[in-house]
Amino acid sequence: MGNTGRELEAIARNIKLLILDVDGVLTDGGIILDNEGNELKRFYVRDGHGVRMLIRAGIRVAIITGRVSDVVARRAKEMGVTDVYQGIFKKSKVYEDLLRRYNLRDEEVAFMGDDVVDIEILKRAGLAAVPADADDEAKAHAHFISTKEGGKGAVRELIDLILKSSGLWDSVSGESLV
């Protein structure tokens, strides 16, 4: 379903909300469980910096994930993401709630997911995106397939596209990492 560069830029120009999955998108999909019951995840710092830039540019960011983890809540807080939904089996319900809450249309939403549970939203989002290592079924519904893998810059690549297409890149790219 991929689009040309100009088509993607036209789509990205309208984005007012970016919704992200976590495992396989903000992380590489690996989950480390230790003997004390702690869950460890590895996040890519440039993805986080990109999220901060997007928020500073006035574009909302939300997280919807099927798992529940204190690590995700902590990372979201560090990035400044306040719309965080964990333990969500039916992600499309939260998607609908976000559209209503912020008075948005599908074409104003970008979503990055990586697996079959994300397809329902990928089919609806104005800018459907997946990391390079996403499930093939999810890729089939994407407008944008990152050249980077999940947890290794895929989110940042999408954010850069949105910021540059919207003419917002210069206003936020020179600011230091927070």
Residue range 6-57, pLDDT digits in tens: 889 999 999 999 999 999 999 999 999 999 988 899 999 999 999 999 999 9
What's residue 37's pLDDT? 87
Q: How far apart are CA 60 and CA 17, in angstroms?
A: 5
Report residue 156's pLDDT band, with 50, 70 and 90 as the boundaries.
Answer: very high
Q: Is there a domain that residue 127 lies in?
A: yes
Q: Is there a domain that residue 178 lies in?
A: no
Work out how many domains the chain is built from and give that number.
1
Looking at residues 103-121, what average pLDDT do you find?
98
Q: Is there a domain that residue 176 lies in?
A: no
Task: Give percent of the chain with pLDDT exceeding 70.
Answer: 96
In the 8-state DSSP scheme, what is residue 107? G
What's residue 6's pLDDT? 85
Q: Is there a domain that residue 174 lies in?
A: no
Q: Is there a domain that residue 175 lies in?
A: no
Both tokens of 106, joined, read 């599908």
Q: Which domain holds residue 110?
A: 5-46+57-168
CA neighbours within 13 Å on the CB side: how many for 68?
3
Q: Is there a domain that residue 20 lies in?
A: yes
Q: Is there a domain that residue 34 lies in?
A: yes
pTM score of the predicted model = 0.93
- 163-172 b/e with 16+ CB inside 10 Å = b? bebbebbeeb
Q: Domain holding 67: CATH number? A: 3.40.50.1000
Q: Is there a domain that residue 71 lies in?
A: yes
